Amino acid sequence: MAYSPTDLVRGLRDFRLATVPVAMLAIAAAGIFGFLAIADEMAEGEIDAFDKALLLALRNPADPSDPIGPPWLEETALEITALGGYPLIVLTLAAVIGFLLMTRRPGPALYALLSVSGGTVVSQLLKSFYDRPRPDLVAHLDTIHTASFPSGHAMMSTVAYLTLAALIVRIVVSRAARAYVLVVAVLVSLAVGASRVYLGVHWPSDVAA
């Protein structure tokens, strides 16, 4: 039986669509496994030495309240860490949901809302469950209100920006643009996580989880 080029293109498209859910499940499973592994190490205290060493490496040895680097680096870290705060995430989410609704995409809009809302609930539940104290080796350079593990800023920036990036990718046609959106989302999430450690408000393992 002969297949036309159209049949081949359709087959490749169907294959890609079929592999997306499998890939997402694999990524989710790997993420959960990694989180549980770090949580176990944290609960048993086996990661404490690493946490303390890295946290102190980012401070002036003569003055632990002084982060390494020029003054503008601390200001930049504060600006970056705000990207993972609830006010900015909510504003970004509202803007994207508004765009999706205006372009008649209620499904993706609802998905974005549920993903970020669900991430918020999970983050708070995990913080309450593990109830890990904040770092006490260095001065906190940002305001804190909740327990340390896992990092709410790191977790929510990852959930929010990667979710929104995934939705934007489905709209954008250019492959280069898709890659750009995903890379930006990943870099923002990593930068937020790094800023939390630099500011002394989280242990490195809080962010890694």
196 and 144 belong to one structural domain: yes
The structure's pTM equals 0.85
Are 176 and 98 found together in one domain?
A: yes
Query: Which residue range forms the structural domain that includes residue 23?
Result: 1-46
**Considering its fold, how many domains does the chain have in total?**
2
Same domain, 62 and 2: no
82 lies in the same domain as 32: no
| pLDDT of amino acid 145 | 87
Q: What is the pLDDT of residues 62-86, one digit of tens each?
A: 898 899 999 999 999 999 999 999 9
- 82 and 54 in a common domain: yes
Question: CA 156, 160, 163 angle in degrees (round to 5)?
Answer: 140
139 & 66 share domain: yes
Same domain, 129 and 147: yes
Q: Are residues 71 and 158 in the same domain?
A: yes
- Is residue 98 located within the same domain as residue 28? no
Question: What pLDDT score was predicted for residue 111?
Answer: 93
124 and 186 together in one domain: yes
User: Is 17 in the same domain as 95?
Assistant: no
Q: Is residue 80 domain-shared with residue 52, that is, in the same domain?
A: yes
Q: Residues 204-207: contacts with CB within 8 Å, 24+ apart?
A: 204/50, 204/51, 204/54, 204/55, 205/38, 205/41, 205/42, 205/47, 205/50, 205/51, 205/149, 206/132, 206/148, 206/149, 206/150, 206/151, 206/154, 207/150, 207/151, 207/154
pLDDT by residue for the chain (209 residues), tens only, comes to: 555 566 555 555 555 545 555 665 677 678 788 888 898 888 888 899 999 999 999 999 989 889 999 999 999 999 999 999 999 999 999 999 999 999 999 999 999 999 999 999 999 999 999 999 999 999 999 988 899 999 999 999 999 999 999 898 888 888 899 999 999 999 999 999 999 999 999 999 999 98
